[in-house]
Structures are given as C-alpha cells and as structure tokens.
C-alpha cells in the first residue's frame, strides 16, 4: 500500500461503493463515501456468489469474513415447473471448488455488506457521510466537486459513482433510458421451521416457467431460506420497489407442480420489484469520474451476477490504479476497457437466461433438451469465462480486442 493524501469520493454505500472504498484504500487513498439513506445498510434478502466474487472479496481482504457467513452449496439445479422434471444440474462440489479456486455460495446480502463495511471501517481511512444524496458533479483540472441535496459542495481528487440502478451520475453524463422488462420479482426470507422439508436442498434451486420462475436456497447455515418468485406482469409496470401483496403472487403460478407452488404460500410479507436493465454502454468514465456496479451495468437478476460484477469492478479499478497511480484519466480508461465487454456479456446473457427460464410451448420443450446428458466437465468448461475471473487476469492486456 502506498500512501497519498488524496481523498477520493464514492457516491453510494452499497456493495459496489464499499468494495470500491476498500480497493482505493489498498492503493493508499483516503475515501469519503456519501450515502443518501440515513444509515449504511442492505435489504433483507439472499444472494448467490460465484467463485469470481470470492476472488474479488479475497483481493479486498474480506474473503474469510464473507466465507465464514456463507453457505457453500453442493449443486445448482433447474426443474421444469410444469411437470417437475429435472432440466439440468451442475455440481458445485469439491471438484468445482478446486477447478475455480473458490466455492459457489449463497449468503444473506447483509452479511456480504457487513463484511465489506467492517473491512472498510477497520482501515480507519474511510469516512461515511449518510443522509447525503449526490445530485450533480463538476470537474476541473485538479479535481471533482459533488453537490448534494442541500447544495453543499464536496471536493475530492476523483469520483466513483456507485449510486445504483438509478444513478444520477450516469443520468448526468449518459442519460440513457431504462428498459423496463415487465417482469416482477417478489423476494422473502423464511425461517427453516416454516420451509418445506422436501425442498431443504443445499443448492441454488430454480423452477422454470412458463412466463415465471421460482428460486430458493438456504441462508445462514440453513436456519433461513431465501425465496424469490418472478412472473410476467399482466399490467404495464414502472421500474421500482413497492410493498407486495400475497393475493397478487397467488394469482400467478397456476398450472405448476405443487412441490414448487408451495413456495408462494410461505412468506408473510413480500417486497415487490418491477425490474429493468439498460443497454450496455461502451463509455462510463468521464475525466475524473467513473461509474461502478449497477450504475455502470444495471442488469436483470437472471445470471445472479450483479453484485459479483460490482465486486470485480472494484478490484479491477484498484489494479488499474496500481498501473496508473494518481492518473485518473488513464486509470479510469484502463478500468473501463477491462470491464465493458465482460459486464455487457452478463447483461445480455441475463436477458437470454430470462427467456430460457420463462419458456413456454415448443420453446419450453427445446429448453428442456438443452443440457440432456451433459457431463459435469462440460458444464464447468462452459462456465470458465464467468467463474475463471481473478485478480491476475482482470486487466485488459495489450493486444486484447477493445
């Protein structure tokens, strides 16, 4: 770690913002994180983390902390929700862990966020300013100024905008439209005692289609289960989060097997997400400001990689600053070139996975044939591009296609 007096500003105290703060401190900078909420925190829901995310968490110095709170799954599995037949099963066992150098895991979002927060606080070099919503950015030769909702002007050497799917910094520099999917997601966490015994698998499990899917997996040593259900809404949707209603969830999911359908009767309260993504963009660095995480590449959740990408972004940014210390334009350019194609592939693959999960009619029959007889080795080979990421290969090399 080198030491510099420069302070870098981070907009957003989510997983991306905290990961960025840790990466910057590891390069010797002081960091100020601005969070619009009154407290730095995360929502009560689970998430899946691939080995690539653990490589990133390791590089940020909090891998052990995160691993200690995660459940390492034995497999991931997809069933057809109409007839209950198994469509595909990928082992995430010891052989998978050996191959990718880290586990596949399911974890409470709060536990990932807390691991990053504890790591950041422990450095003593990250200041947090809550109830501060960044609304505008100005730049000059020597630095950036952000302006918050009170008109307060805050100065730093550079800005990392990790302000999420509705990033105001992206709106200022890019102003591209969101692509509302019309897919609605309901999420809940259920105690083990209330979760059906016949579904207590140590796996990331998915029941697919038609025009809907259901996901469940254990959290916190199997004491809780995460339940996520997604369907195509009958009505026009506006992008955002609202309180959900059990009656609405129950009005969908007709004609699916009882084993899967029992999931929708479980939660006492649901949160409702009307989802969106944006088309990938090739430029997300603007002088001394750059985007990171969902602000840079908002995606549907179907690849379960949004947070993994935010963690990778942060590590890659740190590596770019190792190559170009204090040269924000060059470092941000290298960071962006190293990330654009990979994260765009996730966004576009997410759209395809949504189609596969929600297939109906003949498309459903095709989906159910896709992976028949495929060996574990071939599955793992197919996932190499995704899970084979690590700190030593994260930067675009000279000669790589741009």
Ligand X SMILES: Cc1cc2nc3c(=O)[nH]c(=O)nc-3n(C[C@H](O)[C@H](O)[C@H](O)COP(=O)(O)OP(=O)(O)OC[C@H]3O[C@@H](n4cnc5c(N)ncnc54)[C@H](O)[C@@H]3O)c2cc1C
Tell me the CA distances in angstroms from 226 to 46, 47, 264, 390, one per residue in order.
6, 8, 12, 28
Tokens of 237: 């949707």
162 or 340: CB nearest ligand X: 162
260 or 276: CB nearest ligand X: 276
* Cα–Cα nearest to 360, from 19, 43, 82: 82
Residues found near ligand X in the complex (CB under 6 A): 11-17, 34-37, 47-48, 133-134, 162-165, 168, 185, 187, 228, 273, 293-294, 301, 304-308, 310
Shortest Cβ 230–ligand X spacing (Å): 8
Shortest Cβ 18–ligand X spacing (Å): 8
Report how far Cα 331 is from the mean position of its chain's Cα atoms.
23
Shortest Cβ 133–ligand X spacing (Å): 4
Q: What is the C-alpha separation between 321 and 315, in angstroms, rounded?
A: 10
Shortest Cβ 286–ligand X spacing (Å): 16
280 or 368: CB nearest ligand X: 280
* Cα–Cα nearest to 134, from 103, 155, 110, 106: 155
7 or 48: CB nearest ligand X: 48
Q: What is the C-alpha separation between 69 and 221, in angstroms, rounded?
A: 8
Tokens of 157: 């050497």
Shortest Cβ 390–ligand X spacing (Å): 16
15 or 23: CB nearest ligand X: 15
30 or 32: CB nearest ligand X: 32
Tell me the CA distances in angstroms from 113 to 15, 40, 203, 252, 298, one per residue in order.
6, 9, 22, 33, 19
Ordered strands of the 134-140 beta sheet: 134-140, 143-148, 153-156
Q: What is the C-alpha separation between 204 and 74, in angstroms, rounded?
A: 9
Shortest Cβ 277–ligand X spacing (Å): 10
């Amino acid at each position: 770690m080198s030491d510099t007096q420069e302070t870098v500003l981070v907009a957003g105290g989510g997983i991306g913002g905290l990961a960025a703060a840790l990466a910057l401190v590891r390069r010797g900078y002081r960091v100020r994180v601005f969070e619009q909420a009154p407290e730095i925190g995360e929502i009560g829901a689970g998430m899946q983390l691939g080995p690539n995310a653990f490589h990133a968490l390791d590089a940020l110095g909090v891998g052990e902390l995160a691993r200690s709170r995660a459940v390492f799954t034995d497999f991931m599995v997809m069933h057809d929700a109409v007839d209950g037949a198994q469509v595909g099963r990928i082992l995430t066992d010891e052989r998978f862990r050996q191959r990718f150098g880290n586990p596949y895991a399911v974890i409470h979002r709060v536990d990932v966020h807390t691991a990053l927060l504890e790591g950041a606080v422990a450095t003593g070099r990250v200041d947090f300013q809550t109830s501060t919503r960044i609304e505008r950015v100005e730049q000059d030769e020597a630095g950036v100024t952000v302006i918050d909702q009170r008109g307060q002007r805050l100065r730093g050497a550079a800005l990392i905008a990790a302000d999420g799917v509705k990033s105001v910094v992206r709106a200022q520099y890019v102003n591209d439209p969101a692509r509302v999917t019309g897919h609605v997601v309901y999420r809940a966490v259920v105690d083990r005692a209330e979760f059906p015994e016949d579904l207590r698998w140590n796996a990331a499990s998915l029941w697919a289609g038609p025009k809907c899917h259901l996901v469940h997996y254990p959290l916190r040593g199997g004491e809780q289960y995460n339940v996520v259900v997604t369907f195509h809404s009958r009505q026009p949707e506006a992008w955002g989060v609202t309180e959900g209603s059990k009656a609405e969830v129950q009005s969908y999911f007709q004609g699916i097997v009882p084993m899967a359908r029992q999931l929708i009767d479980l939660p006492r309260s649901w949160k409702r997400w009307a989802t969106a993504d944006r088309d990938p963009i090739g430029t997300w660095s603007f002088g001394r400001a750059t985007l990171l995480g969902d602000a840079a590449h908002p995606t549907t959740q179907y690849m379960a990689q949004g947070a993994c990408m935010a963690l990778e972004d942060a590590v890659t940014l740190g590596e770019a600053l190792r190559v170009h210390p204090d040269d924000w334009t060059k470092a941000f350019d290298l960071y962006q070139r190293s990330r654009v194609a990979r994260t765009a592939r996730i966004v576009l693959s997410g759209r395809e996975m949504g189609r596969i999960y929600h297939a109906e009619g003949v498309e459903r029959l095709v989906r159910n044939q896709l992976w028949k007889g495929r060996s574990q080795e071939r599955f793992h080979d197919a996932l190499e591009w995704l899970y084979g990421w690590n700190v030593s290969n994260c930067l675009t090399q000279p000669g790589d296609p741009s």
